[in-house]
Structure 1
Amino acid sequence: MRSRHHDIAEDLRQQITAGNLQPGERLLSEAGLADRYKVSTVTLRKALAMLQGEGLVEKIHGKGNFVRRPHRKTLYVGGWGTLDPWTAAEPTLSVTVRSTTIQARGHLTTLLKVPTGSPIVETTCLTHEGESPHGLARIYVPRYLVSAGVRDDDSPYRNAVTRFAVLGPPPAVLRETVCARPPTPDEASALRIGYASVVLSITRIATDSTDRVVEATLLAFPGDRVNAVFTTHHELDERQTQG
């Protein structure tokens, strides 16, 4: 026998797919829905959690539950030297940036190849369209690579980091590791997605000609809101070009 919250989720799902509840429309309050379906708010929240995990409903803190609008997919462009891959092809998107200096701990020491306690600049970028988040990045750069006299919150530095570039020449090697996985609690909260959702996770490590890591970036995109494009350039040997 099915649980009551499955029946409630199915009823709301049908109303959404039939167009009786329109994208962007606010649902009744949780107390109001619980009264309508004659259930407790605990049971009602289980039903809403199912719909949030399916991407049909989103909960906006302090405002309530809304029918989720279909998201346009953003374009992530792999590689170095392009404009910010979040905004280059999506001019309606904006990026909220926050920077601070922290000490390297745990996995960051491995990613950046620095001793524990080394000062690094952490920049968090949240890309969004209106109130809808589209992507989250945490960018780490060794503090000594930041130009002298440039504070973490200075606009030139913020702009450079937002465009995924350190303050210097392009790196010799850029490695990007891609996987699909469930979101972490922080990612689920920032991106306003359910724990049952899938994020596209990209870890990018940039190194210079001496194999020194100059940037480590951890990106997470909701799987239904992004297309990733990676282009490989094959450099021919001089002997091949003369053959």
Structure 2
Amino acid sequence: MPSLRHTIADDLRTQITTGHLKAGARLPSEPRLAAQYKVSTPTLRNALALLQAEGLIEKIHGKGNFVRHQLRRLTYTGGRLTPDADLHVTIRTTSLRAFGDLIPLLKVPSRTPLTEFLYLTHQGDSPHSLARIYVLQDLAPAELPWCRRPGWAETRETVTARLPTPEEAAALRIGSTLAVLAITRVSSDTTGRVVEAARLVLPGDRANALFITHHTTEEKGTEGRQPTTSSASSRGRVPTGSPAI
């Protein structure tokens, strides 16, 4: 027998998918919904959490719960998000000193002066993705970072599927059980010095990661045989509503 929270979630999900509750609509207050379904407020909140994890609703602090507009899915490949024509970005710049895991990430001593660029991407009024870019202050570019510049010799990217931190969940207006695609990108120069480190967070209900590998094999000294070329691509997608293992 379904639990009360699943029964409530099923009913609200049906109202959303059939258009009875339209995108952008504000749900009744939590006490009112709890009274309507004759359950406690904690049980009602557990039901809403299921819908948040599915990306169907979002909770805006101080305003309530809203049916989410369908956000477009982006593909991360080669250090860029595509397509991005209908997205807009707000940028905040902060001066800080290296601490915690920024020290090994940037390979700098504790309290080294840094510049942090916080990128928050929106589709309409809804947050879409979050990025933090760190640059040593003596290397801070005149223009904004997040693009390859002369002198870069290597860029390493680490991709992880995990649950969001409370700060990330609040900034992106997602549930704490919705997996995110977390990408750490570190660029260094020809001496091995880290010149830029970036952390990008993409909710799993709106992101793909695309990896393309080109394979070329040349066989020399074999008469009558031509070099062969093949290509392979793979696409990874973060599961929605549950952490990846």
Per the normalisation by structure 2, the TM-score is 0.81
In 1, the alpha carbon distance for the partners of 2:46 and 2:190 equals: 53
How far did residue 220 of structure 1 move?
A: 0.5
In 1, the alpha carbon distance for the partners of 2:8 and 2:47 equals: 6
Counterpart code for 2:137:
R
In 2, the alpha carbon distance for the partners of 1:42 and 1:180 equals: 29
In 1, the alpha carbon distance for the partners of 2:95 and 2:22 equals: 44
Secondary structure at 2:89's aligned position in 1?
strand
How far did residue 236 of structure 1 move?
A: 9.4
Residue 47 of structure 2 corresponds to which residue in structure 1? Answer: 47
Percent identity of equivalent pairs: 55
Residue 233 of structure 2 corresponds to which residue in structure 1? Answer: none
In 2, the alpha carbon distance for the partners of 1:215 and 1:135 equals: 19
In 2, the alpha carbon distance for the partners of 1:231 and 1:137 equals: 23
User: Over residues 101-124 of structure 1, what are the superposed CA-to-partner deviations in whole Å (9 max), with x where a residue is unaligned?
Assistant: 111112111011101111111111
Equivalent in 129, 147, 155 of residue 165 of structure 1: 147
Equivalent in 100, 103, 106 of residue 109 of structure 1: 103
| Structure 1: tracts of 5 or more residues without a match | 80-84, 148-155
Residue 238 of structure 2 corresponds to which residue in structure 1? Answer: none
Q: Is residue 78–residue 231 contact of structure 1 (8 Å, CA) maintained in 2?
A: no
Equivalent in 136, 139, 146 of residue 145 of structure 1: 139
Q: Is residue 151–residue 190 contact of structure 2 (8 Å, CA) maintained in 1?
A: no
1:99 paired with 2:81, answer no
| CA distance 1:3–1:169, shift in 2 (3 Å) | same
**Higher fraction of helix:** 1
Residue 11 of structure 2 corresponds to which residue in structure 1? Answer: 11
Q: Is residue 55–residue 68 contact of structure 1 (8 Å, CA) maintained in 2?
A: yes
How far did residue 235 of structure 1 move?
A: 9.1
Deviates further, 227-236 or 204-213: 227-236
Residue 214 of structure 1 corresponds to which residue in structure 2? Answer: 195
Residue 26 of structure 2 corresponds to which residue in structure 1? Answer: 26
User: Over residues 4-42 of structure 1, what are the superposed CA-to-partner deviations in whole Å (9 max), with x where a residue is unaligned?
Assistant: 222211221222233322222221121221221122322
In 1, the alpha carbon distance for the partners of 2:138 and 2:15 equals: 56
In 2, the alpha carbon distance for the partners of 1:193 and 1:170 equals: 38
Higher RCO (CA < 8 A, seq sep 6+) = 1
How far did residue 77 of structure 1 move?
A: 3.0
| Structure 2: tracts of 5 or more residues without a match | 222-226, 228-245
Residue 58 of structure 1 corresponds to which residue in structure 2? Answer: 58
In 1, the alpha carbon distance for the partners of 2:188 and 2:214 equals: 18
In 1, the alpha carbon distance for the partners of 2:216 and 2:189 equals: 19
RMSD value, Cα? 2.4
Secondary structure at 1:7's aligned position in 2?
helix
| CA distance 1:232–1:211, shift in 2 (3 Å) | farther
| CA distance 1:3–1:134, shift in 2 (3 Å) | same
How far did residue 89 of structure 1 move?
A: 2.6
| CA distance 1:2–1:224, shift in 2 (3 Å) | closer
Give the number of aligned pairs: 221
Q: Is residue 78–residue 228 contact of structure 1 (8 Å, CA) maintained in 2?
A: no
Secondary structure at 1:55's aligned position in 2?
coil
**Higher fraction of strand:** 2
Q: Is residue 54–residue 197 contact of structure 1 (8 Å, CA) maintained in 2?
A: yes
In 1, the alpha carbon distance for the partners of 2:137 and 2:192 equals: 17
Residue 228 of structure 1 corresponds to which residue in structure 2? Answer: 209
In 2, the alpha carbon distance for the partners of 1:97 and 1:235 equals: 41
